[in-house]
Amino acid sequence: MRSSLAEAQVAPHTTSPSRIAATRHLVRRTACYALPPAVRNRYALSATPVDRPAVGLARLLGVKRHEWPALIVAFIYFFCVLAAYFVIRPVRDQFPAAIGSKELPFFYGVVFIAMLVLTPLYGKLVARYPRGLFVPAVYALAALVTLGFIPLFQLQDVLGVRMLGVLFFVWGSVFNLFVVAVFWSFMADLFDSEQAHRLFPVIALGGALGAILGPALTNRLVHQIGVSGLLVFTATLLASSIVCVLWLSRWSRAHPVAGDEDREQRIIGGSMLAGAQRTLSSPFLRRVALLMLLGDAVGTIIYAMLADYNGATHSTRESQIEFLSAIDFATNLLQMILQIALTRELMVRLGPRYPLALDGVIKAATMLAMIAFGAPFIAAVAVVTRASAYGVFKPAADSLYTRVDAEIRYKGKSFIDTTVWRFGDIVITLAFNALKSLGTALPGFALIAAAGGLASGWIGWRLATTPELAPDQSRSSGA
């Protein structure tokens, strides 16, 4: 702009169209600042090109120009994370199907012990290093451990199905909880709450696409490349995630969150057990933990019933994996539809409390429908409730972490998403087996799960108004 004006001054008789246009643009922008603010804002003359939403797709999504690169890379990042997980998830879930839901308390018990060991270590890592170091370290370690299972699967006849099942079930659960939880903590650290409402549902679409591709590849390739090939593919996707993390860290330095410009280099500090301590002392985290346990109660009951149905109707490991892959594919297709058509509109227009409450209503309605349609309907119930949990509930709940401090964002969230979740798994599966031994049938379990869904909807409605949350920037700005 300055060079154009200078050229006009040096060569006043030049009639170049570009120079004339540049001079006129400068005059218009200079004049606009003499207008009253209300008039200036009305015609959007004060907005810079960076601040103005672009046309077309960007206007539809509400994405500002400087956000596009980060949105695209975050989309790819979540695609890689969930594709990696959903490639190996059917492999993990066929072990309970092969052994039976009665073994789930043992599986979850081992996972819970692993979480008790790993969560303080993760807390120590978060306390000592900036996010630009510890986030890539988590993904690098996950890739190496995944590759380490290749020789174990080749020794399955020596180890036995139960031993290998416990080891891989533990790893698959740890992978899910830490790798996915770290992703959303990282996203909450990159954006403020106003950006989260606009961008998180779009970013979640990347995960939905990855979650669709993952089981589709597993379904198609498990008979051709075997489990070892699937594990190599998973590790490759995790390596791609590291590249995305490094790029997003660089973008964050150029576009920091207002009021927290040193966030990229910040070392959180604190105790390695701070996640547990903050969960007990924070009203917000206590509500999140209770909401997690109620949602887990519904999900675990469905998971156990689905495992029994899968084991009863499919006799081979490959057919069980294929059935679970089909369910994952349908789940994530529906999840993507919900994110496009429903979640983002609710979050932008009404805020996160509406999708948080809606998820509980969906859970309750589908469980009540299963009473009418019977056991074969369990596959449809699993698809709908999981799609709602990750397509409606998850983006809304994770957007709230943009309104809390870094220790809650990384340590508190991780503690709830790992240790609290797996503790709930143990309690719920033990209760499930106890009720089965007492003769509780499908209608009884469906009613219990429906009650849990309604309770989670009520708590979700209240969660978004917890006093300790910072003001919602999208609400205060009138979005």
Clarify whether residues 304 and 240 are in a common domain: yes
Among the listed residues 409, 301, 64, the one whose alpha carbon sits nearest the alpha carbon of residue 202: 64
Beta-carbon count within 10 A of 102 CB: 16
- Global pTM reads 0.64
Task: For residue 207, tell me if it sits in a domain.
Answer: yes
**Does residue 50 sit within a domain?**
no
Say whether both 144 and 212 belong to one domain.
Answer: yes
DSSP 44: T
Residue 67 DSSP code: G
**308 and 194 in a common domain:** yes
146 shares its domain with 9:
no
- 334 and 460 inside one domain: yes
Kindly state whether residue 478 falls inside one of the protein's structural domains. no
47 lies in some domain:
no
Euclidean distance between CA atoms 194 and 257, whole angstroms: 11
CATH number, domain with residue 428:
1.20.1250.20
In a domain, 52, yes or no: no
pLDDT of residue 253: 84
Among 396, 401, 413, 403, CA closest to 457:
396
Beta bridge partners of 154: none
**DSSP element (H, E) containing 473:** helix 473-476
DSSP letter assigned to residue 256: P
Cα distance between the two ends of the chain:
32
pLDDT in tens, 391-434: 888 888 888 887 877 777 767 777 787 778 778 888 888 888 88
169-193 burial: b if 16+ Cβ within 10 Å, else e: bbbbbbbbbbbbbbbbbbbbbbbbb
CB 154 within 8 A of CB 228: yes
36 with 71, same domain? Answer: no
User: Domain limits at 33?
Assistant: 2-42
CA distances from 221 to 26, 397, 412 (A): 60, 34, 38
**Together in a domain, 174 and 201:** yes
Both 24 and 63 in one domain: the answer is no
Do 110 and 27 belong to one domain?
Answer: no
Residue 49 inside a domain? The answer is no
| pLDDT (0 to 100) of residue 356 | 92
User: What is the domain count for the chain?
Assistant: 2
Provide the 8-state DSSP code for 299.
H
- Residue 351 Cα to chain centre, angstroms: 18
In terms of domains, do 29 and 157 share one? no
d(CA 309, CA 251): 47
Do 10 and 156 lie in one domain? The reply is no
- Those residues of the chain that have pLDDT short of 70 are 1-61, 96-102, 126-127, 177, 259-274, 410, 471-479
Question: What pLDDT sits at residue 260?
Answer: 57
Classify residue 286: in a domain, yes or no: yes
- List all residues 6 or more positions away from 446 whose beta carbon is below 8 Å from its beta carbon: 367, 368, 370, 371
- Establish if 442 belongs to a structural domain: yes
| Residue 325 contacts residue 218 (beta carbons within 8 Å) | yes
Are residues 424 and 359 part of one domain? yes
